[in-house]
Structure 1
């Protein structure tokens, strides 16, 4: 990234001048503070910035403006260094003439004023860019807050009752919020209807998860999945952009971007952010392999939960950890039936006795 490299270079120049025992030029303290503040902010901004420009051959306008402003600052500083070195040589060569010496000194003062003015203009441009970057960062933060609670049409999370899996829930939450920083895939495995999706829903809605992750997204795969629709669903939840899969041409017309570019766009958006993606009902390891390259490993504790009917899915993934869902015992089964049928009301004793006799 040219803009980021230019910022690093400018900061290096400023540091060398500040720390030099005999600096070649004078740096105004207030200007140095302004430059340093702008450089630091813009570096942090670019670390998390996802360019809206899809075409790799097209430069991002904001990044270009940042680079141009930095190059302008470098030109002003380096030009002043050259002028000062030249003037010092002129002054030393005219020490025999007091009038010439005064003229040379006056010329230095004039050049110094021009230098201060030129550098101040560059700082003001960087201030404008910083303000624009702050607005972009604030909008992105708001989108992340919305996406953490938004669930797309194919991933509606309904209210559900969970009984008998409290210990498993705590175990999964521990895996999500602690442990290793590498991206980890957590399979929840078991036969159909055993409660995999219910457990995943409770994890997804848990307060600890919402606090821990910058982005939370849920998508249902099943047997009739479509790669492009799944990628778009996750990216929409992550970015909050309803047109996340569209690109506008020079004529202002919009068309769908390719499946590969959509996966790359999702990768770029997730990069640098701690995310939790839940992929419900995956039927084969081949399905996961179609999506895995879209989820970056930023070594920041991101997690992916996969629910599947395959009992050895964790081994196929190369993961040592997996949640194997088991049948409920008799007490938990009665508890689930009671809560499902009667909600908060107690189970009628006469009905319970009748059911027990028939069972």
Structure 2
């Protein structure tokens, strides 16, 4: 029940009912509503200012996570850049030394098209997708760098192996023969000097005074250093890679079985031991066990003119061999 208020009227000397004018009541309502709105705004401000919302916590967590991911990605990018720089340096050293040229991409337009596709793809991604995409790209780059490094290591091994192979291939004459006068009999069918019948001559005969040094024509390991019935004092060198050389009729052998020799090293001296009709060195080159014409393996100590002359001398040598 609404409480009725009275007041004492001094003019009428009576208690009269208190009636609040409509204007006053409206002002009171307005004041109350205004105070309520101001208080609400103040409470909301304090709440939003000092009380974190769940969404704010999520955003802060995502921000911190992205900040950590960015720092990690930045570090990985720096590492990958250093690795790529090292690979580029090795690439230049390897390919420039071999091909003496800098490889050029087949088409720059292809790269531009791919770059445009990547930009369009990146623009369509949100932050999380972008982070994941960057991480996947970095993992892919790291895997490609690792594979490329392995590839370059293989290339370096091939190069080192190629250097060893070039040092091992027979490439010089077994005797000093600068004036090209010492080849007496070439490769092919020749009349045997003792039996007097045509017989395959599997090497070259180099005539020289007894005691003339005989040189290893390539790096290798001595597999035989001894005496044979027809070969006399002879040496066989295994050069690896399927190559083998034979030196016969020495007066004396300098090397021993199992010894490693270098190209140009003296392995013995010219003689006439075994089935021989005079001091000379019978020299053979074998590839995978089959004899080949040694004349094609003198490219290291002859120029083009000398080599051409040597080919003619070997082809027009004596019809008889010395052994």
TM-score (norm 1): 0.27
Task: Tell which has more relative contact order, 1 or 2 (C-alpha 8 A, sep 6+).
Answer: 1
Instruction: Kindly name which structure, 1 or 2, has the bigger radius of gyration based on alpha carbons.
Output: 2
TM-score (norm 2): 0.29
* Structure with higher strand content: 2
